[in-house]
Structure 1
Amino acid sequence: MAKKGASANEPEPQEGLTREETKSVKERRRLRAAVVYEIIRLEGEKELARKFSALWWSALAAGISIGFSVLSQAMLEATLEGVPGAGMIADFGYCVGFLIVILAHQQLFTENTLTAVLPVMVKKDWNASLDVLRLWAIVLAGNLVGCFLFAAFLAYSGAITPEVAASVGDISRHMMANSPLEMFVKGIAAGWLIAALVWMLPSSEGTEIFVITLITYIIALGDFTHIVAGSVEAIYIWLIGEESFWRVAGGFFIPTLLGNVAGGTVLFDVVSYAQVRDELEG
């Protein structure tokens, strides 16, 4: 029986600890994998049920926001030119767009390679795969339109200095120097890391900024290819006439998209489900 005046849900104090200390321990205990899985699955069901307009505008906003990853990185590179280790420092700029997108709860395609797929895997209702494809199509299209708008701003607005514009071009050329196979393989790594980021966020209350920065900095440092952030670079280099549309589509877009899906859905989702399957089905 609970003591008089104590809440029925309040934990009994453990030996050597006060009631408040015991409560703090329970609140800070790491979430089980099955709990994290369920949190993300419920979020996925919510996203799958959203209407076209809500998904579209959120995805468009994310495409524009992610452009600040490219711009921030270019600004740092231009500012730090000639400084030892400038490239490693400038890579922190890549984190900016992801921080905006994730903390503002905007729709990013690569997050949904995990979130939208988990409800289908749990229910084993493969007809629901059409709902996943619908969400993917809307979000990816919205992201790309936002990327196009931001790339056009960089290319034509005159709002950035020639030094920053040169850095944007250098970043874009560096990415487009990858072969299609390299785009695909590096895309797998980026897809896995973004899915891992989504998996980590439910357990990261109060440290979200650090976790997002860490994971996206690794993507930048490893030159891993991300279908949305990379689209700003690819579209920019196409708009200024240095790459053809077909080179951008076939050399970057298709292999990177397939790589991100392979890393986020085929690999991370399957492994994540395997580790919690017995608990979910038990």
Structure 2
Amino acid sequence: MKDDDDTPPRDGTTTRRDKSGHVVEERGEAGKELSAEEEREVEKNQLPRAQVLHEVIRTQGDHELGRSLAALWWSALAAGLTIGLSLMVMGLLRANVGEHPLATLITSLGYPVGFLAVILARQQLFTENTLTAVLPVMSDPTRTHFMQLLRLWSVVLFGNLCGTLLFAFSILHLPIFNGAADKAFLEIGREVMENDTYPMFAKAIVSGWMIATMVWLIPAAEGAKIWVIGIVTYAMALGSFSHIVVGSAEVGYLMFNGEIGGSEFIFHFALPTLAGNIVGGSFIFALIAHAQIRSE
């Protein structure tokens, strides 16, 4: 009868007796050590640890805090103009799709266009670049960092709003689009303003959180950055989650057309949306993301 000690285990390890009678284990194919090249391949295919992502974003934030006012202003103004592409493409898709059953799914494809252009061009966008600057403040909460953060937020937000309002004013008054497109732009703005103040604020919290999630994902995305930006912002459009920068182009078009006044733009749309974006992005997500790193 065959001794049980001679039965090879399932992991490929076998046993034998040496000259002294001691049992010696020999590892088969399943138990072989990885070669140095294979270990490098394993390491290469690992996702970055949370600490690595945190440090990447924190380093980006340090850079943003240190930029000059002029650099921030011109980049933010450019971003405001560029993000208007979201309104423009959505309006053109809506004008051409009409009453198709899948109109919402198709029209929402235009929303990511502005975000893709702004983020890939590294222009200053409120809730995107300004979120990265929150982590240095949380890591080292000094008065200097707080003042730098307020300076960054103020300049970027003002530049973004100037750019989006200039874009909205231009596409309304310049002879660029036909009547169907103009009607579509107005419809998009009206849909935003259908929300009361509290729903506007609540939807903006979700929007800020989604943008923050996107910022956290981008460093790990490598060649899939376009997909990450596109999927997250497309979901924002499907959910009609309000964003202070894109929304200012949509609602600004209504304002310049005379359908709403400046006070309604500020108090009904801008302030609730701004507050929600800050709470959802800078406070909820950034605090949670930073807390997990601090706890480790």
Normalization by structure 1: what TM-score?
0.91
User: 2:19: which partner in 1?
Assistant: none
2:83 maps to 66
Q: How far apart in 2 are the matches of 1:161 and 1:24?
A: 56
Measure how far apart 1:18 and its partner are: 6.1
Instruction: Give the structure 2 partner of residue 163 of structure 1.
Output: 180
The whole-number CA distance in structure 2 between the counterparts of 1:18 and 1:243 is: 69
Q: Secondary structure at the match of 1:84?
A: coil
**Cα deviation per residue 1:167-197 (whole Å; 9 max; x = unaligned)?**
1100000001111111100000000000110
Say if 2:58 and 2:135, in contact at 8 Å, map to a contact too.
Answer: yes
* Structure label with greater radius of gyration: 2
Change (3 A) 1:96 1:15: farther
Q: Which of the numbers 222, 246, 254 marks the counterpart of 1:229?
A: 246
Could you say what secondary structure the match of 2:223 adopts? coil
Equivalent-residue separation in structure 1 for 2:121 and 2:168 (angstroms): 21
CA RMSD of aligned residues (A): 1.5
Match of 1:56 among 50, 73, 88: 73
Residue aligned with 2:258, SS: coil
Is the Cα–Cα contact under 8 Å of residues 112 and 136 in structure 1 kept in the other structure?
no
Q: 1:28 Cα deviation (Å)?
A: 2.4
Paired residue secondary structure (1:29) = coil
Q: 1:113 touches 1:264 (CA, 8 Å); kept in 2? A: no
The 1:18/1:80 distance shift into structure 2, 3 A limit, reads: farther
Say if 1:113 and 1:195, in contact at 8 Å, map to a contact too. no
How much does 1:217 deviate? 0.6
Q: 2:270 matched to which residue of 1?
A: 253
Which of 156, 159, 162 is equivalent to 1:142?
Answer: 159
Match of 1:9 in 2: none
Deviations 1:79-134 (A, max 9, x none): 11122211111101000000000111010011134211100100122442111000
The answer on 1:218 being equivalent to 2:227 is no
Could you tell me how far 1:17 is from its partner in structure 2?
5.8
Q: Which residue of 1 aligns with 2:42?
A: 25
Per the TM alignment, residue 27 of structure 1 is displaced from its structure 2 partner at its CA by 2.0
C-alpha distance in 1, partners of 2:209/2:252? Answer: 24
- Further displaced range: 164-173 or 17-26: 17-26
TM-score (norm 2): 0.87
Distance between the aligned counterparts of 2:97 and 2:37, measured in 1? 49
User: Does structure 1 conserve the Cα–Cα contact (< 8 Å) formed by 2:204 and 2:276?
Assistant: yes
State how far apart, in whole Å, the 2-side matches of 1:170 and 1:56 are: 31
CA contact (8 A) 1:63 1:142 kept: yes
- Give deviations 1:197-238, integer Å, cap 9, x for gaps: 001000000000100001001110000000000000111100
Matched residue count: 266
CA contact (8 A) 1:94 1:220 kept: yes
Write the mapping of 1:1-282 to structure 2, written as runs, cut at 5 A: 15=32, 20-279=37-296
SS at match of 1:83: coil
Report the Cα distance in structure 2 between the residues aligned to 1:60 and 1:228, rounded to whole angstroms. Answer: 11
In structure 2, stretches of 5+ residues that fail to align are 1-30
The alpha-carbon distance between structure 1 residues 20 and 79, as it changes in their structure 2 partners (threshold 3 A), is: farther
Q: CA offsets per residue over residues 28-65 of structure 1, 9 Å max, x none?
A: 21111111011000100000000011111111111011
Report 1 or 2 for greater relative contact order, CA contacts < 8 Å, sequence distance ≥ 6: 1
| Equivalent residues of 1:113, 1:261 under 8 A apart | no
Write the distance in 2 (CA, Å) between the matches of 1:110 and 1:80.
Answer: 31
- Quote the Cα distance in structure 2 between the aligned partners of 1:24 and 1:90: 42
Q: 1:76 touches 1:93 (CA, 8 Å); kept in 2?
A: yes
Query: Where do 5+ consecutive residues of structure 1 fail to align?
Result: 1-13
1:98–1:212 CA contact under 8 A, matched in 2: yes
Identity of aligned residues (%): 45
